[in-house]
Amino acid sequence: MSWVSAAVSVASARQASAIGKYNQAVQNRNIEAANQDALAIEQQKNLDIARFDKSFAKLQGETKTKILKSGVDLSDTGLRILRANAEEAEVEKDIIEYNASIGKSRAFEKANFARMQGNLERMRARQAELAYYAKAAESLSRSSGGSGSSLLSGPQSMGSAQGGAGGRPY
């Protein structure tokens, strides 16, 4: 019966290892997804800035045209309006970049957490695997009746090579 128990324990150890590897693979996929999210955020940021620049150039052109049509000189008030618009545009672009950097940081943090979780799952599986192997060794040790050597305690001293007692163990 102990051999059956040992075989079941070895099978359980292998299963624990397989589960740990699977869980780690799932977390590795989560890492890839988070990294892809960060890349998508960066690409979206670039697209948003390009759209904003286009929209801003159109706005500045319309503003300049309205200023000139109204008869106001571009040297004083008109330039202040265009400059204020440009300053506001820079603030808007900074906000777009800031929001993107926050999103990317969250995605990278998610990837780091997934990496840690995957490593933890693998370590838990290794612990379970070792516990099952120890249980198998204990079952085999019991089935051998404790004589001679035990898988848990190692070989027992059988005397010296010259036949005397107290020599080196084999």
Q: What is the pTM of this model?
A: 0.65
Q: Which of 54-58, 63-67, 115-119, 153-157 has the lowest mean pLDDT?
A: 153-157
Residue 71 CA to chain centroid, in angstroms? 61
CA angle 139, 147, 150 (to 5 degrees): 45
- Per-residue pLDDT tens over the stretch 38-83: 999 999 999 999 999 999 999 999 999 988 888 877 778 888 889 9
Task: Say how far apart CA 148 and CA 119 lie, in whole Å.
Answer: 40
